[in-house]
Structure formats: structure tokens, C-alpha cells
Structure 1
């Protein structure tokens, strides 16, 4: 079985050496050290990087990837699936929540744009009384201060 220095693994995997060093320090991709102190990786490091890449693609955090790597190396495929399923389900829920927030924001932006387009052109300088400067949904107190 072959071994690689960090530059060789970076070239072979397409992952920058800086990322490989970070993964080493984060406990995701442990490296052996040569007598001269160089990081040395075994052949399975390429597969491990593919696993990390796939886990990152579904939005897993580093501590979750570390846990999965342990299950992947020492457990069964069904064990990895059982551990991965709730993680992905949580990502789906988070993505759906964020999508709903973005939809509300987009609706607000469209309403603001429509409001802006409906305003008459003024030949005077903008001031605090310009209606497009008023915050939607805000209220003004008796002194005219937006709250």
C-alpha cells in the first residue's frame, strides 16, 4: 500500500494542502509523520476525503463528520445510515425554515419595490418625510420619531 506526502495527496484528491492540514488539526484526517516531520497519508486517506466531501455537501458540521467517520471506519454501513439519517433530516428542516424566511423576505422586497415604483417623482431633495424612507410596519411617536 502506498503513502503520500501532503502535496501528493492534495494533487491526487483535488483538496488544497491548507485544507488537509486543517482536517488533520480538526481530527478528520489524521496523518502519520515521517522521520523528517512531513505529514504522510495512507491510500485510504483519499476515500476518507471523499467521505468528508460528501458529508460537507449535505451540510454536516465538523463534529458531526468526525462522529460519522468513526462509525464509518469501525461500524457497519447500516450503523452509518442510522446515524446519518437524523442529521440529514435536521438539515432538511433547517433548509425549509430558511426557505420560508427567504420567501417572507422576498415578498417584503417585492412590496417595497412596488411601493417605490408607485411613488411620484419629486423634484426636491429627499428628506425624512419622503414616504419611501419610512420603514414598513414601523410606527412614529408623537415627536415623529420612527420606532
Structure 2
């Protein structure tokens, strides 16, 4: 009875295949290229709003032009800042020519009042905390 010599099995190389390293380098360079393009681009806010409004009306999942924003309160720390978000969302894509000058002034006044109220609230909180922790 003859014993045959066993063939040594070749072990698979450890790590990733060589092509995968080259491919990942290519993808990394493409990512850097597009990030660079994006960083150097200028976004026209009016055109962006028009595109957003167009896409919103084209791909809306709500019937009758309704939106999910506006009912109830948002549960977030920024609730005070987002109270008029529904109005902004429904007017998205409109140019300033389609809004009355009077309406713009009213919106500016509302924004100034909201900022003042928020600032006063923040001042009161800071004053209260500094008194609580004996800070000067």
C-alpha cells in the first residue's frame, strides 16, 4: 500500500483583494472632486426655492395640496423658532414680487418681535442660572 503525498493547499491572501484598494482610491478621489465642486458653487436662493416648490407640487403625496406641517406643535427645543414654518412652507417658491410690500413689513415686524421675545427669555434664563450658581 503506497501512500500518496498530500498536496499542500494554498492559503488565500489575507486582506482585501488588490483591485478593491484601487477602486476605493478612485471612489475617494471622486468624492473629493465633487465636494470641491460643491464648495466652489454658488447657490441661487430664488432658483432653489422655485425648484423645491416645483418638486414639492410634482411629487406631493398629500391630496388637495395639503401638507403634514402645521397641525399641532413640534416637540423640539426650537419650537419658538418654528411657529411660522407652515406659512414659510406654503409660500415656498414665491418671489418677493408676488408678496405685498405691506406683508413683507408685517413679516419683518413679527420676526423682530419674536427675536426680541426669545432674547428676553434667554436673558432671564441666564440671569436665573447665574444667581442659582453664584456666578458674576
TM-score (norm 1): 0.33
Q: Which structure has more strand as a fraction of its residues?
A: 1
Query: Which structure is larger by alpha-carbon Rg, 1 or 2?
Result: 2
Q: Which has the higher contact order (CA 8 A, sep 6+)?
A: 2
